[in-house]
Structure 1
Amino acid sequence: MNATQKKKQLMDTITKVLTPLIDNDYVYLDLPYYNNLGDVLIWEGTKCFLQTLPYKCLYASDIYFYIPRKLHKDVIILFQGGGNLGDLYREHSCFRRKIIESYPENKVIILPQSIYYDDSSLMKEDIAFYAKHLNVIICARDKYSYQFLKDRFQNEIKLVPDMAFFIDLKKYKIPQSEDRVLYLRRKDKELSNKNCSEISPVAELHDWPTIECKEKKYEYIDKLFYPIKFLCWLFGMKYRKLAEDYKRDKFYRPSYVQTGINFISKYSIVYTTRLHALILSVLLNKKIFLIDNSTGKLCNFYDTWLSDFDNIIVKNRQNLITPSR
C-alpha cells in the first residue's frame, strides 16, 4: 500500500469511529504547549479532523494555563491523544483525572493514546478511578494498548489510529527530497537501551529540530509577545492565558508543523526512534527504518496499522513486560 492509500485508509477509520462519538459542542484539553514536535503534529491532525464536524470548540487549553469553567452537561470533553496514558508522563494523567472528577455528568473522550505502566500500584489506582467514571471513553492507538485497556478497564474502549494522519499537507510547502539519510534518535527516557548497529554510515544524527535548538523565529515570536504578556500579567491569569493560547495556536502550531515537514522532506531515507517521525515519513512517502522505543509503541503502532505499507523495515523490537493486574 502506498502513502496516499494508507493516509486515506487511516483517515477513514478515524472518521468512522470518532464522528458518531463527538455529537455536540466540545472543549479540547491537554494541548501541547511545549517543544515536542510529534505532539504538535497530533494537535494539528486533531484540529483538521474536528473541522469536518458541525460542532464548536468552546474552550481549549494546555495543562498549565487551564482555568476551570462551568460546562453544560451536554458539552463533550476531549483530551489530546499521544503517549502519556499511564505513568510515563504522570502529570498528564493527573490533569485528566482532575478534570474528569470536576465534570462527572459530561461525556469524556480520551483521543488515541498509547498506554504504558512501569508501576503496578499506579495502574491499579487508575483502574479503580476510571471504574467510577464510566462516562469516559478511551481511544487506544494500537492493538497492544487496546487489549491492555479492554482486559483491565471497565470503560468503553475504541481502537483509533493516531490523529496526525489527518494533517492536511496541502496547507504546507513540501520541499524537494535530497539524497540524504537521517537517523532521528530521541534523547529522552523513551530511548531504548537496545543497540541498533545497522545504521547507515552516512546517516545524519539528529533529534527533532525543536528539541535540539530553538530557532531564531521562535525567539522573535516570544519577543513580540513580551509586552503583551506583561500587560496580561498585570490584568491576571485569564488574559495571560488568552495571549499564550493565541501565540501557540496561531504561530507555534503551524510553524512547528512546517518545521517538521521541512526537516523530514530533506531526506530520502529515515531511521527513526520517534513515532511521529515515522508517521510524518509515511505521509511524505520516505523509505523508513523503524527502531523501537523503550515502551514498544513504534512496533505496536506498526503492527496495528502499517505492516502493509510498502516502505518500512523494522530494525529492532522492544520486549515489554506488562505489569500484573
Structure 2
Amino acid sequence: MNATQKKKQLMDTITKVLTPLIDNDYVYLDLPYYNNLGDVLIWEGTKCFLQTLPYKCLYASDIYFYIPRKLHKDVIILFQGGGNLGDLYREHSCFRRKIIESYPENKVIILPQSIYYDDSSLMKEDIAFYAKHLNVIICARDKYSYQFLKDRFQNEIKLVPDMAFFIDLKKYKIPQSEDRVLYLRRKDKELSNKNCSEISPVAELHDWPTIECKEKKYEYIDKLFYPIKFLCWLFGMKYRKLAEDYKRDKFYRPSYVQTGINFISKYSIVYTIRLHALILSVLLNKKIFLIDNSTGKLCNFYDTWLSDFDNIIVKNRQNLITPSR
C-alpha cells in the first residue's frame, strides 16, 4: 500500500469510529503547549478532523492555563491523544482525572493513546478510578494498548489510529527531497537501551528541531507577546490564558507543523525512534527504518496499522509482554 492509500484508509477509520461519538458541542483539553513536535502534529490532525463535524469547540486549553468553567451536561469533553496514558507522564493522567471528577455527567472521550505503566500500584489506582466513571470512552491507538484496556478497564474502549494522519498536507509547503539520510533519535526517557545495529554511516543524527534548538522566529514571537502578556498579567489569569492560547494556536501550531514537514522532507531515508517522525515520514512517502522506543510504542503501532505499507523496515523490537511489565 502506498502513502496516499494508507492515509485515506486511516482517515476513513478515524471518521468511522469517532464521528458517531462526537455528537454535540465540545471542549478540547490537554493541548500541547510545549516543544514536542509530535504532540503538535496530533493537535493539528485533531483540528482537521473536528472541522469535518457540525459542532463547535466551546473551550480549549493545555493543563497549565486551564480555568474551570460551567459546562452543560450535553457538552462533550475531548482529551488530546498521544502517549501519556499511564504513568510515564503522570501530570497528564492527573489532569484528566481532575476534569473527569469535576464533570461526572458529561461524556468524556480520551482520543487515541498508547498506554504504559511501570508502577502496578498506579495502574490499579487508575483502573479503580475509571470504574467509577463509565461516562469515559478511551481510544487506544494500537492493538496492544486496546487489549490491555479491554482486559482491565470497564469503560468503552475503541481502537483508533493516531490523529496525525488527518493532517491536511495541502495547507503546507512540501520542500523537495534530497539524497540524504536522517537518524532521528530521541534523548528522553523513552529512548530504548537496546542498541540498533546497521544504521547508515552517512546518517545525520538529530532529534526534532523544536527540541534541539529554539529557532529565532519563536524567540521573536515570544518577544512580540511580552508586552501583551504583561498587560494580561495585570488583568488576571483569564487574559493571560487568552494571550497564550492565541500565540500557541495561531503562531506556534502551524509553524511547528511546517517545521516538521521541512525537516523530514529534506531526507529520502529516515531512521526513527519517534512515532510521529514515523507517521510524518509515511505521509511524505519516505523510505523508513523503524527503531522501537523503550515502551514498544512504535512496533505496536506498526503492527496495528502499517504492516502493509510499502516503505517500512523494522530494525528492532522491544518485545514487551505487557505495558505494565
Q: TM-score range by the shorter chain?
A: over 0.9
Q: Residue 220 of structure 1 aligns with which residue? A: 220
Extract unaligned runs of 5+ from structure 2.
none
Deviations 1:151-179 (A, max 9, x none): 00000000000000000000000000000
Aligned-partner Cα distance in 2 for 1:291–1:18: 30
Deviation at 1:320, TM superposition (A): 1.5
Q: Is the 8 A contact 1:119 1:323 kept in 2?
A: no
Deviation at 1:296, TM superposition (A): 0.3
Q: Root-mean-square deviation (CA), in Å?
A: 0.8
TM norm structure 2: 0.99
Deviation at 1:321, TM superposition (A): 4.1
Q: Residue 245 of structure 2 aligns with which residue? A: 245
Deviation at 1:285, TM superposition (A): 0.1
Q: Residue 46 of structure 1 aligns with which residue? A: 46
**Alignment of structure 1 residues 17-32 onto 2, 5 Å:** 17-32=17-32
Deviations 1:60-108 (A, max 9, x none): 0000000000000000000000000000000000000000000000000
Which secondary structure state, in structure 2, belongs to the residue aligned with residue 224 of structure 1? Answer: helix
Name whichever of 251-260 and 313-322 sits farther off.
Answer: 313-322
Q: Is the 8 A contact 1:26 1:57 kept in 2?
A: yes
Deviation at 1:137, TM superposition (A): 0.1
Q: Is the 8 A contact 2:116 2:324 kept in 1?
A: no
Deviation at 1:324, TM superposition (A): 6.8
Which secondary structure state, in structure 2, belongs to the residue aligned with residue 67 of structure 1? Answer: coil
Q: Residue 68 of structure 2 aligns with which residue? A: 68
Deviation at 1:322, TM superposition (A): 2.5
Deviations 1:259-285 (A, max 9, x none): 000000000000000000000000000
Percent identity reads 100
Q: Is the 8 A contact 1:115 1:145 kept in 2?
A: yes
Deviation at 1:197, TM superposition (A): 1.5
Q: Is the 8 A contact 1:120 1:323 kept in 2?
A: no
Q: Is the 8 A contact 2:179 2:268 kept in 1?
A: yes
Aligned-partner Cα distance in 1 for 2:198–2:77: 45
Deviations 1:281-307 (A, max 9, x none): 000000000000000000000000000
Aligned-partner Cα distance in 1 for 2:285–2:322: 33
Q: Is the 8 A contact 2:14 2:163 kept in 1?
A: yes
Aligned-partner Cα distance in 2 for 1:261–1:219: 20
Q: Is the 8 A contact 2:295 2:323 kept in 1?
A: no
Q: Is the 8 A contact 2:137 2:155 kept in 1?
A: yes
Deviations 1:116-167 (A, max 9, x none): 0000000000000000000000000000000000000000000000000000
Extract unaligned runs of 5+ from structure 1.
none
1:324–1:55 Cα change, 3 Å: closer
Q: Residue 254 of structure 1 aligns with which residue? A: 254
Q: How many residues align?
A: 325
Name whichever of 67-76 and 312-321 sits farther off.
Answer: 312-321
Aligned-partner Cα distance in 2 for 1:190–1:25: 35
Q: Is the 8 A contact 2:264 2:281 kept in 1?
A: yes
Q: Is the 8 A contact 2:117 2:324 kept in 1?
A: no
Q: Is it true that 1:231 corresponds to 2:231 in the alignment? A: yes
Aligned-partner Cα distance in 2 for 1:92–1:251: 24
Aligned-partner Cα distance in 2 for 1:167–1:180: 25
Aligned-partner Cα distance in 1 for 2:283–2:246: 28
Aligned-partner Cα distance in 2 for 1:69–1:4: 41
Aligned-partner Cα distance in 1 for 2:59–2:140: 24
